Structure 1
Amino acid sequence: MSRDVRVAVFRPDDERLDDAVELLDSLGADPVADPMLEVRPTGASPEPGEYVVLTSKTGVELAAEAGWEPGDAAVCAIGSSTADALREHGYEVDVVPDEYTSAGLVAALEDRVDGARVEVARSDHGSAVLTEGLAEAGADVHETVLYRLVRPEGSGESAALAADGDLDAALFTSSLTVEHLLDAAAERGVREAAVAGLNDAVVGAIGPPTRETAEAAGIEVDVVPEAADFEALACAVVEAAAPTYHE
């Protein structure tokens, strides 16, 4: 008998988690849905700027719900999913960096923003790489927190599975998913065992910052896709984990 690859996914408990489970099912994997992020909107809306930066689909949705209008601002998206969400809500997108990271967006804007007001609208856990990089390029940077990210109550099933050696792969989509999984493991008294179990599994990180966070915590990362895209991450991780099948 073969056993499906058991893959933990940590996306927020909304359509992103539903889509992730559906994708993993289609890849022949056994998804373990263990949300590590809960979105708590602040009610704020992006403030005016010559450039306005959105960093996530969630941020776009909240800005749209608040009736945000960019006016003459150049609208910047940190990646393709954010850009797609902006277009779906009727916004024009002026800048999408080649590299879908904070550093990539800084590189795309650094020659344009000297003396300009740049509004960064995102979660309360946004990387300082973005705001500090833009400030170093001469921008007048303002940050608006559109939502806070907290760990949902009851999370951590995947930590217990990893600690028991019953997890084949894990898909980390942000540094915060790493930190919250380790917090959940510590609450259950299995942090060390969970790290050991993850190191026997195939671990995927959506981008370099997430990989660095995992590695700093002692988690070995096996897969980082070229594009910071969940589907690319899931496909690469399942493919890497597939040889663990036993006929």
Structure 2
Amino acid sequence: MSETPTVAVFRPDDERVADAVALLEECGADPVPDPMLAVEPTEATPRTDADYVVFTSKTGAELVSEVGWEQSGETVCAIGPATADALRTEGYAVDIVPEEFTSSGLVATLQNEVDGARVEVARSDHGSPVLLEGLEDAGAYVHETILYRLVRPEGSGRSAELAAAGDLDAACFTSSLTVEHFLEAAAERGVRADALAGIADATVGVIGAPTAETAESRGIDVDVVAAEATFETLARETLETVRRAHE
């Protein structure tokens, strides 16, 4: 490894990947932006008869604003601070943010108060079943509205080729889907086996336990599970691990 570690980042190709690149550069890394997620809006609107409405992403917050969803007394829940900030930016009040910024964390926060309540979950088509099942087990009547679909962008896979060539020091996976799309892109470019071998020699950081489980199940060993489910924590902890490994 050179003094400047090469780190792949898979955030969507908008301000999120730009912010991730800026953060990695600030931390002394050489970022490899390789967006693995693109958003296809469905133009659906959350139901208006719910007692609770749950949002799980900044993208969802922006899309419901675009389609004109209006708050009307529901208890609005955001899975984490980034989602909450996005909702507030769009003019919505946020009532609940769990201490643990995950589906299971939100279930734990709500489970003692949603028995018999109508809960609307507004999110992407790749949301974790943990949220729906956990709320249903708590006695809620749960409805899911798909606000957008997540697809793999054309041309993705530069990071897979770098991994295959042994030129990647680290990778920061921010969802199970980024893991799956990384491997799909590697296969599309004919380097899947070599990319798996190369990433085995790199430091792999993930943003939470579900992403870790997906990576491990696909043959990718995980070195870092971020202590907090934010990209900044993931990036900093992954880089710390890279540098310790090369001391």
Q: Is the TM-score greater than 0.5?
A: yes
- State the partner residue of 1:149: 150
- State the partner residue of 1:165: 166
How far the C-alpha of 1:245 sits from its partner, in A, is 6.0
Structure 1 residue runs of 5 or longer lacking an equivalent are none
- State the partner residue of 1:199: 200
How far the C-alpha of 1:242 sits from its partner, in A, is 2.3
Partners in 1 of 2:175 and 2:148 — Cα distance?
A: 15
8 A contact 1:168–1:241 mirrored in 2: yes
How far the C-alpha of 1:226 sits from its partner, in A, is 1.3
Secondary structure of the 1:155 match is coil
* In the alignment, structure 1 residue 239 sits paired with structure 2 residue 240: yes
Partners in 1 of 2:227 and 2:126 — Cα distance?
A: 23
Moved more, 237-246 or 138-147: 237-246
How far the C-alpha of 1:2 sits from its partner, in A, is 4.3
8 A contact 1:2–1:245 mirrored in 2: no
Counterpart code for 1:70: Q
- State the partner residue of 2:111: 110
- State the partner residue of 1:66: 67
Identity percentage of aligned residues:
67
Secondary structure of the 2:92 match is coil
How far the C-alpha of 1:243 sits from its partner, in A, is 4.3
- State the partner residue of 2:221: 220
8 A contact 1:4–1:245 mirrored in 2: no
Partners in 1 of 2:78 and 2:197 — Cα distance?
A: 37
Secondary structure of the 1:154 match is coil
Partners in 2 of 1:185 and 1:29 — Cα distance?
A: 23
Partners in 1 of 2:101 and 2:187 — Cα distance?
A: 32
- State the partner residue of 2:178: 177
How far the C-alpha of 1:39 sits from its partner, in A, is 0.4
Partners in 2 of 1:55 and 1:245 — Cα distance?
A: 37
Counterpart code for 2:155: G
Partners in 2 of 1:244 and 1:208 — Cα distance?
A: 22
Moved more, 96-105 or 234-243: 234-243
* In the alignment, structure 1 residue 88 sits paired with structure 2 residue 52: no
Structure 2 residue runs of 5 or longer lacking an equivalent are none
Secondary structure of the 1:240 match is helix
Aligned residues: 246
For residues 31-70 of structure 1, the aligned pairs below 5 Å read: 31-48=31-48, 49-70=50-71
With over 3 angstroms needed to count, the CA separation of the structure-2 counterparts of 1:243 and 1:35, relative to structure 1, is same
Moved more, 204-213 or 80-89: 80-89
8 A contact 1:5–1:245 mirrored in 2: no
Partners in 2 of 1:113 and 1:39 — Cα distance?
A: 31
Q: TM-score, normalised on structure 2? A: 0.96
Secondary structure of the 1:118 match is strand
- State the partner residue of 1:15: 15
8 A contact 1:52–1:70 mirrored in 2: no
| Cα deviation 1:26-58 (Å, max 9, x = unaligned) | 111001010000001011121121000000000
